Structures are given as C-alpha cells and as structure tokens.
Structure 1
C-alpha cells in the first residue's frame, strides 16, 4: 500500500511538473513571436502611437456634468505621431524588448528548473545562473524600461512642439526588492549545489 501510494505521488508530481514546464514553454514561445511582431510593427508603422505620455500638470476632464463626480482630471495622454524620430522609436523598441525578455527569461528558467526537478537533481550551476539572470532582467525591465519610455515621450513631445512630458518615470523600487529576493534564491541554489555534490561524493 505504501509503495503504491508513493508511486501515485511521484506520478502526480511528474505530471504537474510536465504541465508547468509545457505551459511555461508555450508562453515563452508565444511571447517571442509577439515580441518580433511588435518590434516589426513599431519599426515600420507610421504614424506611431505612444501611450502614457505624462503631462506636467493635470488637466480638468469633462465627465458630462454628473452630479456624483466632484472633480475629474487626467495627467497622461496618448499621442499618435507621424514621422516619429529614430531616437524615440529606438527607445520604445528597447523598452518593449526589455519587458518581453523578462517574460521569456522567466519561462526559460522555469522550464529548466522543472526538468531538473523531474530528474531529481535541481541544484545545478545552470539553475543558479538562470535565477541570477532573471534577477538582472527584473531590474532592467522594472527600472530601465520606464526610463526608456520616458525618453521616447520626451522626444515625441519635443518633436510636436508641445510641453508636458516628463523624462524620468515615477520611481518604483519594487523591482529592487524582487531582484534581491531572486539573488537570495540563487545563493540558496548555489549552497544546494555544493550539498548535493558532497552527498553524491559520500554515496
């Protein structure tokens, strides 16, 4: 009875690992396809749409005279620009690439970790470096990408001769926290790798 239960548990575990790995792999492939498509469209499309351009000061918004609304205003706009400069277009493409690389990187590492757990040896150097690489991508996507979008907005606003876009996006320190947590996890994998190696040497 105990052996049968153990076999069933192993089967369920491997099924779950296979499902997670397959789903992560599919998401990574789809994100890669979407990334190529978005970059190609952005590089060739004219006019170009830039959303989330921040205004220097909020502007009152008309809500149709609803008695339930005390006041309304908006602080971002969407610009549709024809003949966008190469600098703004390049910044937008770089921001999109960084965001997609984070998703693709997470999926790749998740697939690899599932495979390593499946074979019973999760603590390998490649897993450690994979988690550390994702930590770097979190920093790039969370801190650099918004800065690049700010550059694109500033270039676009300057091109149309308007005023109001902010070069620096609002600072969000959450990526620092996530990256730090991933670095700690990478360190744990490194320790696990040494322990696994020592255990194999004793056998």
Structure 2
C-alpha cells in the first residue's frame, strides 16, 4: 500500500489505521445516538434528574460496625413538570460533552485516513486538532455548568412554591471535573506538534 507522497504503508499499518478510524466513527455515531436519546428523555412527560441534596442520613447503615456515619448527597427525582429552560440546560449537560466526543472522533478518523494516504502533515490538520481541543474544553466544562444551572432552576421553581425545598436540595451545586481541561491542553500540544511537523516537511521539500 502506497500513500500519495510515495511513502509505502505496510498492510499491517494500513489495517491498524483502518481499524482505528472505523472505531472512531463507531464511537462518534454512538455519541450522536446518545444525544438524540437524551433529548427524548429530557423532553419527555417524566424526567428523572439526579438532584444535589443538602445532606440526609442513611438510616439503613445506622449502627453498623465500622461505620461512624453515612449521608447521601444526591437523590434521583422524577419530575412530571419542568420548565423549558431547565430542560434545555439538562440536555446541554449531556449533549455538549457528546458533541466534543464526536469532534474528536472525526479528527481521529481524518488522521487515520491521512496516515494511510501518507499525508499526515496536511495544512489543515493542526487547525482541526486545535478546534477539537477547544470542543473538548468547552463541552466538558460548560456541560457541567449547564447541568448545575438547570438543577438550580428546578430548585428555584420548587422553592417559590414551598420554601422548605431549600432545606432539602442545594440551590447551586457543581462537582467540577477538570479532566476536559487536561485533555484539551494535550490536544493543543498535539496540534502544535503537527504544525511544527508541517513546517519541517515544507522546509525539507524546499531543500530537495
């Protein structure tokens, strides 16, 4: 197997790259299906939401040897009525990271195909990977924020009718996961590496 640049690509490498590219497409499709499924669930007649609880004792563990105390911080609550704004925030909580996954899978597929063709350091590759890095950071971080805002909207709506709700649910709670930020930095570094490789390739071709 030979790429467009004339550099040979072994059958084993071609098979491996094709397998990776196919896997990336499969993951991307699964993420898209998850977004669609999440939309149907969020905008359904009944919506199950994991709500932050201000703290409740787990009575079933009281008196168990070796356990000093046990509290729950979240509860799965099924709502029959939710505002449109809260529904959209809850949808974005899952959709934004999924869309970032789709973007990364698209880049992985394109990179695999480019390697098979022997054109890994094409001009737009570094830009595309940089965009994927931004998607990962934005999707991961803003997805968590949207989820926290959506739950806060639910608590605020319930609390306006029954102030005791504020003693049960946290008004605003977010367990910030910085992993998307780290993955974004890693992808940005890879984008810079591809940009450097492209310049080196261009300089080498100029010398030949």
Do these two structures clear the TM 0.5 threshold for a shared fold by scoring above it? yes
Q: Separation in 1 of the partners of 2:102 and 2:111?
A: 14
More divergent stretch after superposition (165-174 vs 133-142): 165-174
Instruction: Report the Cα distance in structure 1 between the residues aligned to 2:200 and 2:35, rounded to whole angstroms.
Output: 40
Matches within 5 A, 1:77-96: 77-96=75-94
Does the aligned pair in 2 maintain the 1:123–1:189 contact within 8 Å?
yes
Q: Give the conservation status (yes or no) of the 8 Å contact 2:17–2:116.
A: yes
1:134, CA displacement in angstroms? 1.7
Match of 1:5 in 2: none
1:88/1:156 contact within 8 Å kept: yes
Name the CA distance, whole Å, in 1 between partners of 2:157 and 2:48. 14
Cα distance between partner residues in 2 of 1:139 and 1:168:
20
Post-superposition Cα deviations, 1:51-76, rounded to whole Å, max 9, x if no partner, equal 1x2223x2111225533433211111
Counterparts of 1:177 and 1:89, CA distance in 2: 29
- The whole-number CA distance in structure 2 between the counterparts of 1:68 and 1:123 is 59
SS of 2:45 mapped into structure 1: coil
The 1-side partners of 2:124 and 2:40 are apart by: 32
2:12 match: 12
Contact 1:150 1:166 in 2 (8 A): no
Q: Match for 1:165 among 162, 170, 186?
A: 170
Report deviation, 1:165: 2.3
Deviations 1:23-47 (CA, angstroms, capped at 9, x unpaired): 111111222123123213322x012
Matched, 1:33 2:33: yes
What do you get for the CA RMSD once the two structures are aligned? 2.0
Structure 2: unaligned runs, 5 residues or longer: 1-8, 160-164
Cα distance, 1:96 vs structure 2: 1.8
How far the C-alpha of 1:201 sits from its partner, in A, is: 3.1
For residues 168 and 126 of structure 1, the distance between their equivalents in structure 2, rounded to whole angstroms, comes to 40
SS in 2 for 1:71: coil
- 1:199 aligns to 2:204 (yes or no): yes
Q: Counterpart of 1:87 in 2: which secondary structure? A: helix
Structure 1's unaligned 5+ residue stretches are 1-8
Counterpart mapping for 1:110-125 below 5 A? 110-125=108-123
1:49 maps to 48
Equivalents in 1 of 2:183, 2:25: separation in Å? 22
Structure 2 Cα separation of the partners of residues 142 and 169 of structure 1:
13
Using the size of structure 2 for normalisation, the TM-score is: 0.84
**Alignment deviations for residues 75-114 of structure 1 (CA, whole Å, 9 cap, x no partner):** 1112211110111001011222201112111111100111
- Structure 2 residue matching 1:77: 3-state secondary structure: strand
